[in-house]
Amino acid sequence: MSLIVARIQNFLKLESSAGILLMIAALMALIASNSILSGLYGGFLTTPVVVQIGALEIAKPLLLWINDGLMAVFFFLIGLEIKREILEGELSSFDKAALPLIAAVGGMAGPALIYVLINWSTPETLNGWAIPAATDIAFALGVLMLMGRSVPTSLKVFLLAIAIIDDLGAITVIALFYTSDLSTMVLGLAAIGLAALVVLNRAGVKTITPYALIGVFIWVCVLKSGVHATLAGVLTALAIPIHGKTKEAQSPLHKLEHGLHPWIAFGVLPIFAFANAGVSLSGLSLEDLAAPITLGVAAGLFVGKQIGVFGATFLAVKAGIARRPEGTNWAHIYGVACLTGIGFTMSLFIGMLAFDSRDSLDQVRIGVLAGSILSAIAGVMALKLAARIGVPAETRPAAQPEGAKALA
């Protein structure tokens, strides 16, 4: 038990540090795009990068290598986390998964509905409905961890579970709604690669190398098929064995998850943030701020997430379907609902899939930044209020072992 507590503690510490680094990367992108460095910044992101192996050639600007390549590694990690949580974690039983599942569904539906209502009169912008439905786990946990010991451990786990389910929803949305011009032949090759991964898993192969090589093959196939290449990371992750050669040995899944976390948290996500958060504010007008995309994204993140997550949680608890997390009051739940409105990297990523024009993407960035900042401020204020209110007797946790207390 102490080992599990220590792992969760290390993970949460890592995410808090990553959240701060993401903020710095986003700020650097805004400074670069609004200073004399703007030309250098734009030129850097459009630098052509070509990889050629025999007759196979992949030529893309650096920005697309970041969004299609590095983010595939991020989604691979998300796939590992989802598999672990479903098989042995916070989503392994209905009792554990009920409340975060209901909250996450509300948190995806609320923002999408608000975006659609605001953009209903402009059909050409409706394709961005999924942008405010996403949550940035690193940012949200980073802000939560800045609150220190005043936040119950159960609330951190609740937010983490919501974010993981939210990621699963985002992956599904990308697969179903943001793919076009499909090549069935190349998808067939990807399916063969996936079948090979399943065979490796069923055969008890625990060595990571063959999974990695086939995963790269699947990534190339998916990239060429018309489906977004990041989904290759998720598909590969689901085939990674969760058990080691012996009960005492670390499994390939846990080994990869532990090894990739620092690289994703301190490398991939800050690079993505730096590459995608830059928006020029020099020509910003009231028209841009009042654009349907900007308003839909900002209101979806700030208002939709609060209504969706808090409303769904409140109804589930009052209906007796689930119980509020131990040691929490309703202000805690409202604070978490606000923090799920920090969309940032995931929202920017879906925005890049939804729109092509520079103006639309700038409006997405403004909306994401505004909605995320407002959500973070509201979340901190609500959690400070929750600490003053105290915890009702019926939700106070029983005496905990020392390791669990340390996590809180």
Domain residue ranges of the chain, discontinuous segments joined by +: 2-178+228-407
| pLDDT at site 304 | 96
Q: Where are the alpha helices (DSSP H) in 277-323?
A: 286-289, 292-299, 305, 311-318
Average predicted confidence (pLDDT) for the chain: 84
3-state helix, strand, coil in the chain (%, to 5): 75, 5, 25
325 pLDDT exceeds 70?
yes
pLDDT at 395: 57
Which pLDDT belongs to residue 223?
83
Instruction: List pLDDT tens digits, range 80-97.
Output: 888 888 888 767 777 778
pLDDT at 407 over 60: no
User: In this prediction, what percent of the chain has a pLDDT beyond 70?
Assistant: 89
Lowest-confidence region among 142-146, 235-239, 303-307, 381-385: 142-146
231 or 379, greater pLDDT: 379
Based on the number of CB atoms within 10 Å of its own CB, is 93 exposed (0-12), middle (13-18) or buried (19 or more)? exposed
From the CB of residue 76, how many other CB atoms can be counted at a distance below 10 Å?
Answer: 26
Nearest to 130 by CA among 339, 351, 345, 312: 351
From 122, 220, 130, 222, select the one nearest 179 (Cα to Cα): 222
pTM of the predicted structure, to 2 decimals? 0.74
pLDDT at 374: 95
161: Cβ contacts below 8 Å, ≥ 6 apart: 85, 90, 91, 96, 97, 100, 104
Which structure tokens are listed for 314? 């409140």
Write out the two tokens for 384.
């400070």
- Determine the topology of domain 2-178+228-407 in CATH: Na+/H+ antiporter like fold (1.20.1530)
* Least confident span in 89-103, 227-241, 273-287: 273-287
Radius of gyration of the chain (CA): 21
